[in-house]
Amino acid sequence: MEVPRPLSAGGNAAAAAAAGSAYYVSSHYVTLALYAGGQLLALAAALLLWLCWSVLESFSEPLLWAYLCSLSLRDVKRWLVRCRCQCIAWRAFLLCVV
């Protein structure tokens, strides 16, 4: 019984297939394996997204309210920060002068 040898990096695939090498892999099988791996990866990603959604589903309404409040109060926050920074700068100036 002859022990099959793998193809070398520069080997001829057609000659190996004709010789009956057991390690010869058709490119169709490799393509099929890559597609199957991609499908498994997509399935795992979808499952992970579904699990994350099921965990965060109870927080969806408070998160929506927080987002809406942040949108509506953005200008007020910017004004408060600007006033506070000016106040701090004025106090620092007075502290340095006195």
**Are the C-beta atoms of 16 and 24 separated by less than 8 Å?**
yes
Residue 90 has a pLDDT of 77
State how far the Cα of 56 lies from the Cα of 5, in Å rounded to an integer.
54
State how far the Cα of 24 lies from the Cα of 3, in Å rounded to an integer.
13
In a domain, 3, yes or no: no
Residue 52 has a pLDDT of 93
Residue 94 has a pLDDT of 77
In a domain, 21, yes or no: yes
State how far the Cα of 73 lies from the Cα of 77, in Å rounded to an integer.
6
**Are the C-beta atoms of 24 and 7 separated by less than 8 Å?**
yes
In a domain, 60, yes or no: yes
- For the entire predicted model, the pTM comes to 0.43
Q: In this structure, which amino acid lies at residue 87?
A: C
Q: Which domain holds residue 39?
A: 13-97
In a domain, 77, yes or no: yes
In a domain, 36, yes or no: yes
In the chain, what is the straight-line distance between the N-terminal and C-terminal CA atoms, in Å?
Answer: 101
Q: pLDDT tens for the chain, 98 residues: list them.
A: 555 555 554 555 555 555 555 555 678 888 899 999 999 999 999 999 999 999 989 998 999 999 999 999 999 988 888 888 887 777 877 778 77
